[in-house]
Structure 1
Amino acid sequence: MEDVRLHATSPVEIFRLDLGSSTSQEAIITDVKHLASYHWIDAPTPTIAVPGSPALWSPPEGSRPVKKDHGLVYIAQNAARLPDSPLEPMFRSLYIEQPSLDLDSIDVVTDRNNIRKLFVEMAAQTVIFCREETATYEVIKPEDFRGFGHEFEKAYTTSHIKNSTSHHRIISYKLGGLHFLVCHETDGFIGDMTKTGGSLANIMDSLAISPETNPTEKASSLSKLRIKRDGQTVPREKTLEIKTRAVNKPLQR
């Protein structure tokens, strides 16, 4: 297999009028499918749980104060925890949950957040975009202010994957005649209160999470990544993207 690597060293300006379409198909996303997911675990060696689970949306009754964001915050966790192979967790989870997936049928593999800074690889006929950041994490000091988003998530969701730090999901879809494979982070999910009796404990029990003693296995003899089976797949339509906004900047309805 021939590998071609293109490293973007300087920004390039592209004008809309210079773009030409190679397909007559409309730019409409179709055939969206959930393929796999994984959870980063805070451990001495790089460890993921497959399929993992997003945190459960479980807001407290009434309003409550939330601290401003502080401490360690990941910008690109895949690269921070596995800098030599940031795409490996995505492909490992795919191999576990979708062993019959034909990767040769994929035209574009990408992370959701890598549009501005790209590292591009060609594997046969597949284009692979890998996110590149000057820093993969930051430590927010007490005197700094970065908003309340991370602390709000901690206060209003409940995680049941021990020592989890983030949940990532892989979906596929078709757009403009191309087959996309996209990895993205998910903040949480909404539980089905009607089928579980309404209590948080019942919702947790219904997810049938594997025991905490689940052993980890090395992905391969050449890999630093360790994998354990834990969690349960959550339907895509129940997942959440959580954002906070200052009270003096209301949303327009």
Structure 2
Amino acid sequence: MDWKSLEGWRFGWPGPDTSYAPRPEHWMRYGCGKLISEIDQTIVEPAEVEVTSEAGYELLCSYNWQDDEEQASIIVPGGPPKWTPPPLPTQVRSDKGGFHYMDQNEYRAPGWTFEPVFQALSYMQPQMRLNNVDVIVNGNSLRRLLDFEVRGNFEKVSTKYQPGLECSSGHHRVIRYQLGDLNCAVRFECDAYLDDGNKTAAEAFFPSDAVVTPHSHPSQASNNSNTSPPIPQTAYQALPSHRTEEEQDDEERIKVIIGGGQVDSSSKLVEIKTSGIRKKVTPGHHVAQLWFGRTSYLCEAKHDYGNFQKISCTDMKDRFKEWENRHQDSLRKLVTLLTELKGVVSTTAYEAAVLVCENHEPIRIYESNEPMEILPQPLKAKFWGATTKNESWEEEDMDF
């Protein structure tokens, strides 16, 4: 959705009172005004346009958050760590009591959680305009809305950031694709990438003594290169000449470090999952997350009280079509839901609203009782200004 209807989206689970917001200090309802709409999942109709991943996607930008306690800092473009699994078996200490991000973007950029996206976009795609983008959203939010209708230390020891990115605390990227008839820009966090080189998929994923479990398919390497269109180096190196004094002032909120990462192909991205060896989890449990992020590979590591003995990897690309066919009705309802939410928010006084999901209750939308900003004004003007050729949806821009 455009930035006006994007402002103020928050997911939460309120108390029993559903007609009026509880006392203002309740963090979930901060800024809530009157209840303006309810959407019952039982009456949401599927959209007419088929939802499919076959249309491809376009990488818009990427960035890595840096471990900088003095100032919020990102490196642009970012890069995921390399998948470097240790020989098995291996013992990994418990991560209980450690610090874990529920939402690193919210923690490091409170209030303006999408600002790092647009700072990165300013350098990587300075001429882009987003006037025709219907929805800008986190992948996790899409999964929650779809459900409206279902890691820890091992990751640290099995991945390694490349030179220039060693101080990273997370890699994020934004891709654009069609969701039915909606043009969506989706942000997600990536765990790792596969450096296959001249190796087969099995050799790249597994050390020589790793155990491949029966449900994994490491040998089914796709013949589709899925290489993301390269983003010219000059795009972000030349940008400072385009930046206004206001934009430079706003940049003080987030320090941007240029040139550390590479624009890796999305076809090599890896999602890492860990679970106890007695827990029965199949790759199918994670398809939705990988589908919304167009992440190709799923790595599952099984442990017995921290002792990892089995690692399995599945090439998930071949499963996307089957999954979207099986969930086509729900995906089309998701499109209907997003369209309706966009319309409701655009009619509010401040063009901002708070969305509340509570278990299987109807979605409740509350009007914001105060203006809500999600981006600095110069960034809004920059990306929703006059249209350019980058605004159109071109098939040749897509990654298949």
Asked whether the two chains share a fold, i.e. TM above 0.5, the reply is yes
Structure 2 SS opposite 1:91: helix
> Which of the residues 166, 173, 180 maps onto 1:169?
173
What is aligned with 1:39?
Answer: 64
Structure 1 SS opposite 2:136: strand
> Which of the residues 151, 154, 157 maps onto 2:156?
154
Higher deviation after alignment, 65-74 or 49-58: 65-74
Matched, 1:226 2:261: no
For residues 14-72 of structure 1, the C-alpha deviation after alignment (integer angstroms, 9 at most, x for no partner) is 43442235x53112233312221100001110100011210100012221001111421
What is aligned with 1:211?
Answer: none
**Within 5 A, what are the aligned runs for 1:74-223?**
74-115=101-142, 149-160=151-162, 161-194=165-198, 220-223=248-251
Structure 1 SS opposite 2:263: coil
CA apart distance, 1:3: 4.3
Supply the RMSD in Å over aligned alpha carbons. Answer: 3.0
For residues 141-196 of structure 1, the C-alpha deviation after alignment (integer angstroms, 9 at most, x for no partner) is xxxxxxxx21000011111212110000100100111100000000000102318x
Task: Identify if the C-alpha distance between structure 1 residues 189 and 84 changes in structure 2 by more than 3 Å, giving closer, same or farther.
Answer: same
- Counterpart code for 1:158: K
Q: Percent identity?
A: 31
Task: Identify if the C-alpha distance between structure 1 residues 16 and 182 changes in structure 2 by more than 3 Å, giving closer, same or farther.
Answer: same
Structure 1 SS opposite 2:141: coil
Structure 2 SS opposite 1:35: strand
> Which of the residues 57, 60, 64 maps onto 2:90?
64
Unaligned stretches of 5+ in structure 2? 19-36, 146-150, 205-239, 284-400
More strand as a share of residues:
1
Matched, 1:28 2:64: no
> Which of the residues 228, 235, 248 maps onto 2:278?
248
More helix as a share of residues:
2
Structure 2 SS opposite 1:28: coil
Task: Identify if the C-alpha distance between structure 1 residues 2 and 54 changes in structure 2 by more than 3 Å, giving closer, same or farther.
Answer: closer
CA apart distance, 1:250: 3.8
TM-score with structure 2 setting the length: 0.46
How many pairs were matched up? 203
Matched, 1:73 2:100: yes
Task: Identify if the C-alpha distance between structure 1 residues 111 and 250 changes in structure 2 by more than 3 Å, giving closer, same or farther.
Answer: same
Structure 2 SS opposite 1:102: coil
Distance 2:268 2:279 in 1: 27
- Counterpart code for 1:59: P
Structure 2 SS opposite 1:222: helix
Higher deviation after alignment, 105-114 or 8-17: 8-17
Distance 1:221 1:31 in 2: 37
What is aligned with 1:18?
Answer: 43
| Greater Cα radius of gyration, structure 1 or 2 | 2
List structure 1 runs of 4+ shifted beyond 6 angstroms. Answer: none
What is aligned with 2:81?
Answer: 55
CA apart distance, 1:2: 9.6
Unaligned stretches of 5+ in structure 1? 119-148, 200-216
- Counterpart code for 1:19: V
CA apart distance, 1:115: 4.8
- Counterpart code for 2:276: A
CA apart distance, 1:246: 0.8
